[in-house]
Amino acid sequence: MGSSQAAVSFLTNVARAAFGLGAAATALNASLYTVDGGQRAVIFDRLRGVMEETVSEGTHFLVPWLQKPFIFDIRTRPHTFSSISGTKDLQMVNLTLRVLSRPEGDECVTRLPYIFRHLGLEYDEKVLPSIGNEVLKAVVAQFNADQLLTERPHVSALVRESLIQRAKEFNIILDDVAITHLSYGAEFSRAVEQKQVAQQEAERSKFVVMKADQERRAAIIRAEGESEAAKLISEATAAAGMGLIELRRIEASREIAATLSRNPNVAYLPGGQQALLALNPAMLGGR
């Protein structure tokens, strides 16, 4: 009987100890929180509100139920958003902007409590799309549609400066801002294509005009050469008589005779009526 009471008492003590250890472990676990690398924590106290001190990396203590940590990722993160904006000449363009952002502050002084109090954990998702669209529309409205291509570095610089200045008002640092995509509406693209076709036609017409002008000049030069040659021949004829013309005629006749003699389909007959006497009488009788 006594041994059974001792066993019950021992088990009760063990249960109490286990319960106490479990409660202590639970309380200890609830009192600890860990801030990983590239993160910071903002503590909300039920009595004092958001604490102004930011907690850095590591494992830290807090008062269970009374305090609650909110973890911020302070590493640079990319964000991409698109905007359809109107240009100075009333053309619609579609731009895609990529920014790298992080909360303002350093290891000692940070604006995370202020950001948490006014914007919450998703501060960048709430702020960047709205100010990005605002800046893009304001900058694009200063340029014509074709200038967005010819002056793209200048446009990107204006967008970067304006957006960085605008983000600072919300305690957000932008490490990089870039326009990654730019496209025009269907009407403007069609107009650009028609303009290119018109320019090609103009170049082709210009070439035709230049060719005709060169041919006209060549004809004038050729006519002047023929005129000069005729003048020289006339002067030579006047000086030497008709002998030069007769010589040219004989040379031309000789060239014609030489050409015809090489043709097997050409036959020669003597001139005059005596040519018929050389024909075969049988052939004449047959006729």
Residue 230 banded pLDDT, cuts 50, 70, 90: confident
Q: Are 150 and 87 in contact, with CB atoms under 8 Å apart? A: no
Residue 200 banded pLDDT, cuts 50, 70, 90: confident
SS3 227: helix
Q: Give mean pLDDT, residues 107-125.
A: 83
Please tell me the predicted confidence (pLDDT) of residue 231. 77
Please tell me the predicted confidence (pLDDT) of residue 132. 93
Q: Give mean pLDDT, residues 132-139.
A: 93
Q: Give mean pLDDT, residues 135-143.
A: 93
Task: Determine phi and psi for 213, rounding to 5 degrees.
Answer: -65, -40
Q: How many CB atoms lie within 10 A of CB 140?
A: 25
Q: What is the pLDDT of residues 35-86, one digit of tens each?
A: 998 889 999 999 989 998 889 899 998 888 899 999 999 899 999 989 998 8
- Residue 208 pLDDT > 60, yes or no? yes
The mean predicted confidence, pLDDT, of the chain is 81
Q: What is the pLDDT of residues 5-16, one digit of tens each?
A: 777 676 677 777
d(CA 6, CA 89): 97
- Structure-model confidence comparison of residues 139 and 208, the more confident one: 139
Please tell me the predicted confidence (pLDDT) of residue 108. 45
Q: Are 70 and 116 in contact, with CB atoms under 8 Å apart? A: yes
